[in-house]
Amino acid sequence: MQDKLLAEAVGLLEQYDARAERVLGVGAEAVVVKCEWRGFEAVAKLRLAKPYRDPALDALLRSKRTALEAKLMFEARKLGVAAPAPLFVDAEEGLLIMDYIPGPRLRDVLARLESREEVFETVGFYAGLIHGRGIVHGDLTAANVIVSDGGVYVIDFGLGAFSNDLEEQGVDVHLMLRSLESTHPSLAPQLYRAFMRGYAKARGEEARKLVESKVLEIRRRGRYVAERRRRAALA
């Protein structure tokens, strides 16, 4: 599967003076490929055509999502968030080339990090910065944070949006909490507190309390739905 995707990526990237090296990830939305672009170590994100969708609609969706992701990354960086820099965009082709951030995913090294509370406070600060600007990440988890020699970087804004909606901000924070509870449950409480300390530094205590209240509401709704499903299964 990856060989086929890499072959498809090679053909497209060659048109843009980029040399594909290896597939970094394959998702429902895109293929992510490590490449060299004009002398830079880079990452290419390719939103490939979906054959099951109407071609005109497919082209429109891929174009809009690609352009939006690049803009979200650019705006986040302007705020001081450590994120990959967009290097080249061809929205019509669904192609976004960004700089390569070396390092493991936070999820994979969290247990052995000595400064993990400091790291989560930084990530929480970044989350507060983007929320304050009216940006939601859409998939804010420990898997979408890179631990690099230069610090921690937030990656993959592919599901992000411009929004000031408290519900969407709460979902961002809840996703981070859930990702911690599912992979490192014993560390989740202290790291969530560190995350929210950083969030408050960026947005203030009032915004922190509002978002945390929304997270609690989201969790209650989830427990309610789970309980309804459990009772239905026993009936």
User: Do 32 and 25 touch, CB atoms closer than 8 A?
Assistant: yes
The answer to whether 44 and 9 have CB atoms below 8 angstroms apart is: yes
Catalytic residue (one of 139, 149, 156, 165): 139
Report helix, strand or coil for 27.
Answer: coil
- Respond yes or no: is residue 149 known to be catalytic: no
Burial class (CB in 10 A: 0-12, 13-18, 19+), 15: exposed
Residues 99 and 88: beta-carbon distance below 8 Å: no
- Enumerate the β-bridge partners of residue 41: 36
3-class DSSP state of 67: helix
In 3D space, the residue among 197, 195, 194 whose CA is nearest the CA of residue 175 turns out to be: 195
Residue 37: both structure tokens together: 């672009």
Q: Are 10 and 31 spatial neighbours (Cβ–Cβ below 8 Å)? A: no
Phi/psi of residue 117, each to 5°?
A: -65, -40
What is the distance between the alpha carbons of residues 56 and 190, in angstroms, rounded to a whole number? 48
Q: What angle do CA 109, 107, 151 make, to 5 degrees?
A: 65
Q: What positions carry a catalytic annotation?
A: 139
